Amino acid sequence: MDHPRRLDWRTSAMVLERLIEFEAVHQIQGWPDLHRRLEADRRCYAFFHPALPDVPLIFIEVALTRGISGNVQPLLDPNARVEDPTRANCATFYSITNCLEGLRGVSFGSLLIKQVAEELAKEFRRLKIFATLSPIPGFREWLQAVPDRIPEILRPSFTELGGGTFDPLTAPAQVKTQLIGLCARYLLHAKRGHAPADPVARFHLSNGARLERLNWAGDTSSRGLERSLGLTANYLYQLDSIEENHEQYVKTYRIVATRTIERLASGSSPL
């Protein structure tokens, strides 16, 4: 395994078929969808092993955007207009997939993110921000594990979600405020041992990222609603502080987050 390989529409059909097969975060809905994800304002990179030249070990999908993206649906829209990548100032990592079952416990993800960020920074001089647009897969389960965690005003939301009618875009402001605060609390304080309970948070924070922002209605797909009531998170990779953040996490499990997130978790920050 050497440097990440960029995949585009000229990549062999066998490899591209693997992307459609393995994509685990946001399912690829056939060839037109994949084609849009490989356009000029998108990037896909993968690690390969010399013994398996047509099977990616892990791959990452990136959108080149103006500012940090908070909503994944526009990034996944196969009919979205292709933007000029040279005008982008942010690389938004919106999906990372470990392809081989036998390697699920061996993560090359941190190395892939760092190398891709460095490669993109060389290619695009305006690119200064490297951030994820991430799911929060354990949030709803954490809320429901202890019914008393769910404030009275939120309980109808769970009933509606079970019936498939919950819509974060029309939810009352109080529901939004309560859920975002609870989600911040979950990401900062819910634990699996000493580490964050949420697997995506655990991955990015251990890699040296900072928990930057929570996004209401950031993923309104059925899966996004089922896992996190539509919330998404941005983790920021600042190239000059990744190592320091990583070392602090390894030594003390310290979570680096913005003050806004910390205030939300304590219930002291209005939206």
Residue 68 in tokens: 């940090």
Cβ proximity of 72 and 218 under 8 Å: yes
Q: How far apart are CA 184 and CA 264, in angstroms?
A: 6
Q: How far apart are CA 240 and CA 249, in angstroms?
A: 16
Burial of residue 152 (number of CB atoms within 10 Å: 0-12, 13-18, 19+): exposed
Which is the catalytic residue, given 69, 204, 206, 228? 204
Q: How far apart are CA 7 and CA 46, in angstroms?
A: 7
Cα-Cα-Cα-Cα dihedral sign, residues 253, 256, 262, 264: negative
Which is the catalytic residue, given 134, 157, 206, 228? 134
User: Is 3 labeled as catalytic in the residue annotation?
Assistant: no
Cβ proximity of 88 and 125 under 8 Å: no
Q: How far apart are CA 248 and CA 253, in angstroms?
A: 7
Q: How far apart are CA 198 and CA 190, in angstroms?
A: 8
CA 141 to chain centre: 18
Radius of gyration, alpha carbons of the chain: 19
- Report the C-alpha dihedral over residues 128, 115, 65, 209, rounded to 10 degrees: -70
Give the CA angle between residues 236, 258, 115 to the nearest 5°.
15
Q: How far apart are CA 122 and CA 152, in angstroms?
A: 51
User: Is 134 labeled as catalytic in the residue annotation?
Assistant: yes
CA 209 to chain centre: 12
Q: Which residues are catalytic?
A: 134, 204
